[in-house]
Amino acid sequence: MRRKDREIVDRDKIEEILESADVCRIALNDEKYPYIVPLNYGYQWGDALRLYFHCAKEGKKIELLGVNNHVGFEIDCKHELIKGDAACDWGMKYRSIIGNGTIHEILDDSSKVVALNLLMKHYGYAGKPSYPGIMLKAVKVLCLDVHEITAKART
Look at residue 97 in the predicted model and tell me its pLDDT: 98
Spans of the chain below 70 pLDDT: 1
CATH number (domain holding residue 114): 2.30.110.10
Of 67, 76, 6, nearest to 41 by C-alpha is 76
Tell me if 102 sits within 8 A of 71, measured CB to CB. Answer: yes
In a domain, 149, yes or no: no
Looking at the structure of the chain, the number of domains it has is 1
Query: What pLDDT does residue 127 have?
Result: 86
**Does 145 reside within a domain?**
no
**Residue 88 covered by a domain:** yes
Please give the pLDDT value at position 7.
87
Q: Has residue 24 been placed in a domain?
A: yes
From CA 139, how far away is CA 52, in angstroms rounded? 13
Kindly state whether residue 87 falls inside one of the protein's structural domains. Answer: yes
pTM beyond cutoff 0.75:
yes
The answer to whether position 43 is within a domain reads yes
Q: Is residue 11 part of a domain?
A: yes
**pLDDT tens-place string over residues 23-58:** 999 999 998 999 999 999 999 999 999 999 999 999
d(C-alpha 59, C-alpha 37), whole Å? 12
Nearest-angstrom CA–CA distance, 64 and 57: 13
* pLDDT given for residue 5 in this prediction: 77
> DSSP secondary-structure letter at 4?
G
Range of the structural domain that residue 52 is part of: 4-126
Radius of gyration of the chain (CA): 17
